Amino acid sequence: MPRQETTYTGAALTGKLGDLAGWREHDGAIERTYTTGGWPVTIMLVNAIAFLAEAADHHPDLSVSWGQVTVRLNTHSAGGITDKDIELARAIERQALWRPEGGALAGTAGKWVSGDAPAS
């Protein structure tokens, strides 16, 4: 018999999201919007997220437009937000915002993906 996964809300969820700036609870899931430099970067980000999700066997809902990607995570089988969601959010965050720090990988001059909130 599978064990019941712990779900998080309120202060417990806030504590779990402490190191995940930009992620927030919304309607029973955690979500984050990334702003991109346009369609090619948006698609590259979607593919990176899809790779991580497939490897983790835990699949987010994605909302995709020309210059942004919104990621939404919850564990349907548990009826809420679990450690699976938090861990996948961390992996997505590391991948989406990773930048070379010098050395042989100089990186691009422009920012490809930003964690900044889109302008309203």
**Tell me, what's the pLDDT at 53?**
98
pLDDT digits (tens, 9 = 90+) for 17-37: 999 999 999 999 999 999 998
**Tell me, what's the pLDDT at 88?**
98
**Tell me, what's the pLDDT at 2?**
60
At the fourth CATH level, the homologous superfamily of domain 26-98 is: Transcriptional coactivator/pterin dehydratase (3.30.1360.20)
**Tell me, what's the pLDDT at 106?**
79
Identify the sign of the CA torsion 113, 115, 116, 118: positive
Query: Distance between CA atoms of 95 and 57, rounded to whole angstroms?
Result: 17
The contacts of residue 42 (CB under 8 Å, 6+ apart) are 36, 64, 65, 66, 67, 68, 69
**Residue recorded with tokens 């919304």:** 26
**Tell me, what's the pLDDT at 17?**
96
**Tell me, what's the pLDDT at 118?**
54
Q: What is the DSSP string of 29-82?
A: EEEEEEEESSHHHHHHHHHHHHHHHHHHT---EEEEETTEEEEEE-BGGGTBB-
Q: Taking the model in full, what pTM does it have?
A: 0.88
What's the longest Cα–Cα distance across the chain? 52
**Tell me, what's the pLDDT at 68?**
95
Q: Mark the ranges of the chain whose per-residue pLDDT is less than 70.
A: 1-3, 109-111, 116-120
